[in-house]
Structure 1
Amino acid sequence: MPLHLLPPPRRPVPPLLTPTVPHLARLLLSHAPTTPPLLLALLPSCPDLLTPLLSYLLLSHSPPLPALTLYRRLLTLRNFPVPESSLPVLLRLLARSRRYAHLSFPLLESLPSTHPHLLSTPALAVLLSTALGSSGPGASFDAAVTCFDSAAGVWARAGRAFGGAELNALLRAFCARGRVAEARALFHRYCNAYPPDTRTFNTLLLGFKEAGHAQALDLFYHDAVLRGFVPDAVSYCVRMDAYCKKGRFLDALQLLDEMRTKENCKPTLQVFTTLIYGAGIVRDAVRARQLFDEMEEWGVTPDRGAHNALMGAYVRARDLQSAMAVMEAMERKRVGLDDVSYNTMFCGFQRVGDLEGIWRVYTKMVGSGAMPRTRTTMLLMKVFCENGRPDLGLELWGYLMGKGCLPHRHALDVLVTGLCCRGAVLEAYRCFREMIDMGMAPTERAFRILEGFLRRARAFGKVEEICQMMKAIQLDAQQTEEVAV
């Protein structure tokens, strides 16, 4: 058989003499759905890598079953210190999949006798958020309350305290979705059993903000103050954010002046970042810069989020030269760039149609070894393929796969379409197969597009092959679901 017709080999797993998160992720996914013994031998010597590994799998949209299987195996190992921060990340992985979301609470119930330290407020918050998103409004309300009451029993069996922090997690789950009326009802339902604190009232303020009810927020705030609530910097920040998102930037600035008059409520990093972001909404880049420079006068050191907010203000004002200067300053100060930084600049250059600018920032991102999140990957893939450069999309695909990151299925849709339209059908076939080899089923759209172009090329052997692969991955998904249950 000619070499170009041979199926592409599976990517070799890099040596793990010095384990790194991308290498561990690649090792785990390449052996899915089973857990490789080498991984079980490596993690006990470096347990702190478990949470970064799970976070890496979450950000790369990897299937949840390999992570769940690994976690269950690690729970059975004696003397393995499972980090408390690892469980919320795993629960988020499961929550993202309808197929495995129902396994979250049974996993939690199994922990009191063996790993009670894993029962934490962040883990509960993920469970409550999952319950709220699993069905319609009425049913989800009952599901969240049931989850909360059941969790109280699990915490009690583990000898863990269950009180105000957990109530705040319940209220925050509703408020984050703008369901503030239900949050207030739950507040009155549980406030006697779990005494509220300042964070409780701030959470309810957050609910009004997320619902977009600025007037109702003001009424609730002033009523709470009359009842003895003492606002803190977070209270002011929530109100500022609500005003900024309504375009009431001057009202937000008045709150800053009010904070300056209080002795125990100085403006914080979050307050300045919120106001800089608000200045960007009204496209007042000059005021955004003034607020950024004013931070040092209050003894506040700008972090990456503040720099990103300033960069976003310049982008909204279409001053991309100043935005790039902020990015360069972040590198010079060693503040570090993240996906928000890169995505902000990509969006700015895309808005003005500057493909060269996108390429400069993309080169910088790849050179730093950063792993883009799904929204950035999708933006780049669309820009490359829609502008007749699917070869750059293929390069991006190889970069992500080389770091053990499985791109989102819709990124494969865009790439397959771009490659096939440019005659690179075999490259599209290779990417399609790589996704299946990593345990993820491509979308029906990608399958149909690739199938059609392979038929046009009279590559009937490959047509039959991808048909069998799709059937196998779908059957395997059903079988692994049964095993997981």
Structure 2
Amino acid sequence: MPYLLPPPRAAQPQRLLAPTVTHLARLLLTHAPAIPPLLTAILPSSPSLLTPLLSHLLLSHSPPLPALSLFRRLLELPHFPVPESALPVLLRLLARSRRYAHHSFQLLESLPSTHPHLLSVPALSVIISTALCASAPGASFAAAVSCFESAAAVWARAGRSFGAAELNALLRVFCARGRVAEARALFHRYCDAYPPDTRTFNTLLLGFKEAGHAQALDLFYHDAVLRGFVPDAVSYCVRMDAYCKKGKFLDALQLLDEMRKRENCKPTLQVFTTLIYGAGIVRDAARARRLFDEMEQSGVTPDRGAHNALMGAYVRARDLQSGMALMSEMEQKSFGLDDVTYNTMLCEFQRAGDLEGIWKIYTKMTGSGFMPRTRTTMLLMKVFCENGRPDLGLELWDYLIGKGCVPHRHALDVLVTGLCCRDVVGEAYRCFRELVEMGMAPTERAFRVLEGFLKKKREFGKIDEIRQMMKAIQLEEHQAEEEAA
């Protein structure tokens, strides 16, 4: 049987491009801990680039310190208008690292006197979530409550209102983790100080849904209605999603009929998307398509999420041809393809063992300049290396590095193993160095595999280098932990 992946390609020279978010991210990472003068020259004249730059660093698994240093430098500039959307992204970057999570609230406390406009509900959500995750299981509830009350004091110093929206953020953090009993306790604790709104009840409904308690959700819903709660389209959407995830698709469809009988409660884009997703769960692709077509008849325009839900239904029904046709339709409609689109199709081609299909999706993705998220990167890296084509894994690695992305260190594990097994130890060593130079710590597994193959080649100088790299990284982590303590 002929091999379905393409033959190895000759290395192509890299082109020099005009400064973009990708190039700015790479510039920042390669000069860390220093801040490149080019960044402090470009960003003050183009402040709208800051949020995309931080988002790029977040999605590319970059270390948080360069982003934190850049953000603090920009805060010091007297007339730089820091976008409100930038802070939540930076806080998420910090929250992902145990070494830097403690900087989050310190940064928030410094803002009332200089940048009060940055104190927003999204920023509060990330701060509370960080406090919840960074604490010991038994102390996490108290840590989140303390964080919420401290934030109320910070908001007060800045002269900003603190009410139902902020309470909803607190409840949402607990509900998103299925801790709905604690969310209800917090609701009763603060409902007098911060009068709830419709979104508050919807947040609690969402909590029951995320916890998988469909029966408790129904009881809470009907009790709230008896107490005067007026459900809206979001309320119905949450209940539909709960039914769909339990495989009760017909019950979800009955709620659609119930919605249509109510005044001022028309089905929304989210409602149709949820039902299309539910049809996919029960592998009813025909029903999913009818719901999709029904959207426009109801005056609702499908978006990329609705197309992805329909694609998921096709994939669950093992209809790859319709999935590929829908992908082309999305491009024709200029929706663009996102990581959900690519990952959905790649997973199904992987399940079917269709390497040619995977290659088509991969070339489409890289040809458009799209930067995949970690799950898609890992899927592709495993497919390439496990099928004896680590050269394609190396091509993917260089593509990501060229986009200013720091590949996940587990991607390095797979690539180093694949390259070394094919006797391409020099390239494995280069990738190992690149990850370290971008501020990320390789795993012990990658180190041991590379060390073993370098010993076989008697490359003792390189062995000493990677040992020194690992020692330096471990020392940095130890120092950071001591500073955090």
Task: Mark the runs of 5 or more structure 2 residues left unpaired by the alignment.
Answer: 1-12
The answer to whether 1:252 aligns with 2:252 is yes
Moved more, 120-129 or 467-476: 467-476
1:230: which partner in 2?
A: 230
Q: Say if 1:13 and 1:23, in contact at 8 Å, map to a contact too.
A: no
Aligned CA distance change for structure 1 residues 57 and 481 (closer, same or farther; 3 Å)? farther
Q: Say if 2:276 and 2:288, in contact at 8 Å, map to a contact too.
A: yes
Amino acid at match of 2:305: G
Aligned CA distance change for structure 1 residues 129 and 480 (closer, same or farther; 3 Å)? closer
Which digits, 9 at most, give the CA deviation of each residue in 1:123-175, with x for residues without a partner? Answer: 00001111111133331100000000000000000000000000000000000
2:361: which partner in 1?
A: 361
Amino acid at match of 1:71: F
Which digits, 9 at most, give the CA deviation of each residue in 1:42-94, with x for residues without a partner? Answer: 11011000000000000000000000000010000010000000000000000
Which digits, 9 at most, give the CA deviation of each residue in 1:433-458, with x for residues without a partner? Answer: 11111111111110011000100111
1:175: which partner in 2?
A: 175
Q: TM-score, normalised by structure 2?
A: 0.95
1:261: which partner in 2?
A: 261
The answer to whether 1:185 aligns with 2:188 is no
Amino acid at match of 1:77: L
2:81: which partner in 1?
A: 81
Find the aligned partners of 2:236 and 2:166 in 1 and give their Cα distance.
23
Find the aligned partners of 1:208 and 1:34 in 2 and give their Cα distance.
47
Task: Give the deviation of 1:220 after TM superposition.
Answer: 0.2
Which digits, 9 at most, give the CA deviation of each residue in 1:411-439, with x for residues without a partner? Answer: 00010011111111111001001111111
Task: Give the deviation of 1:190 after TM superposition.
Answer: 0.2
Aligned CA distance change for structure 1 residues 15 and 46 (closer, same or farther; 3 Å)? farther
Task: Give the deviation of 1:34 after TM superposition.
Answer: 1.7
Amino acid at match of 1:203: T
Find the aligned partners of 1:175 and 1:24 in 2 and give their Cα distance.
37
Find the aligned partners of 1:203 and 1:242 in 2 and give their Cα distance.
13
Q: Say if 2:102 and 2:484, in contact at 8 Å, map to a contact too.
A: no
1:401: which partner in 2?
A: 401
Find the aligned partners of 2:478 and 2:105 in 1 and give their Cα distance.
21
Q: Say if 2:99 and 2:480, in contact at 8 Å, map to a contact too.
A: no
Find the aligned partners of 2:137 and 2:220 in 1 and give their Cα distance.
24
Find the aligned partners of 1:183 and 1:457 in 2 and give their Cα distance.
59
Q: Say if 1:43 and 1:50, in contact at 8 Å, map to a contact too.
A: yes
The answer to whether 1:329 aligns with 2:291 is no
Q: How does 1:85-96 map to 2 (within 5 A)?
A: 85-96=85-96
Task: Give the deviation of 1:479 after TM superposition.
Answer: 5.1
Aligned CA distance change for structure 1 residues 144 and 13 (closer, same or farther; 3 Å)? farther
Q: TM-score, normalised by structure 1?
A: 0.95
Aligned CA distance change for structure 1 residues 14 and 38 (closer, same or farther; 3 Å)? farther
Find the aligned partners of 2:14 and 2:73 in 1 and give their Cα distance.
21
Amino acid at match of 1:308: N
Secondary structure at the counterpart of residue 407 of structure 1 = coil
Aligned CA distance change for structure 1 residues 106 and 326 (closer, same or farther; 3 Å)? same
1:5: which partner in 2?
A: none
Secondary structure at the counterpart of residue 87 of structure 1 = helix
Find the aligned partners of 1:146 and 1:204 in 2 and give their Cα distance.
21
1:465: which partner in 2?
A: 465
Q: Percent identity?
A: 83
Aligned CA distance change for structure 1 residues 396 and 304 (closer, same or farther; 3 Å)? same
Find the aligned partners of 1:483 and 1:56 in 2 and give their Cα distance.
27
Q: Say if 1:244 and 1:252, in contact at 8 Å, map to a contact too.
A: yes
Find the aligned partners of 1:471 and 1:35 in 2 and give their Cα distance.
25
The answer to whether 1:69 aligns with 2:69 is yes
Secondary structure at the counterpart of residue 78 of structure 2 = coil
Q: Say if 2:99 and 2:484, in contact at 8 Å, map to a contact too.
A: no
Amino acid at match of 2:59: L
1:420: which partner in 2?
A: 420
Q: How does 1:85-164 map to 2 (within 5 A)?
A: 85-164=85-164
2:4: which partner in 1?
A: none
Flag as ranges the 4+ runs of structure 1 deviating above 3 A: 12-16, 476-485
Find the aligned partners of 2:62 and 2:450 in 1 and give their Cα distance.
22
Task: Give the deviation of 1:483 after TM superposition.
Answer: 7.9
2:430: which partner in 1?
A: 430
Find the aligned partners of 2:325 and 2:256 in 1 and give their Cα distance.
27
Secondary structure at the counterpart of residue 138 of structure 1 = coil
Amino acid at match of 2:396: L
Q: Say if 2:385 and 2:418, in contact at 8 Å, map to a contact too.
A: yes
Q: Say if 1:14 and 1:23, in contact at 8 Å, map to a contact too.
A: no
Find the aligned partners of 1:130 and 1:13 in 2 and give their Cα distance.
40
Q: Say if 2:94 and 2:101, in contact at 8 Å, map to a contact too.
A: yes
1:315: which partner in 2?
A: 315
Find the aligned partners of 1:412 and 1:241 in 2 and give their Cα distance.
37
Moved more, 288-297 or 458-467: 458-467
Secondary structure at the counterpart of residue 133 of structure 1 = helix
1:4: which partner in 2?
A: none
Find the aligned partners of 2:48 and 2:481 in 1 and give their Cα distance.
29
1:292: which partner in 2?
A: 292
Task: Mark the runs of 5 or more structure 1 residues left unpaired by the alignment.
Answer: 1-11
Q: Say if 2:285 and 2:314, in contact at 8 Å, map to a contact too.
A: yes
Which digits, 9 at most, give the CA deviation of each residue in 1:371-422, with x for residues without a partner? Answer: 0000000011011111111111000000000000010010000100111111
Q: Say if 1:394 and 1:415, in contact at 8 Å, map to a contact too.
A: yes
Q: Say if 1:175 and 1:210, in contact at 8 Å, map to a contact too.
A: yes
1:371: which partner in 2?
A: 371
Task: Give the deviation of 1:231 after TM superposition.
Answer: 0.2
Find the aligned partners of 1:14 and 1:80 in 2 and give their Cα distance.
32
Task: Give the deviation of 1:473 after TM superposition.
Answer: 2.9
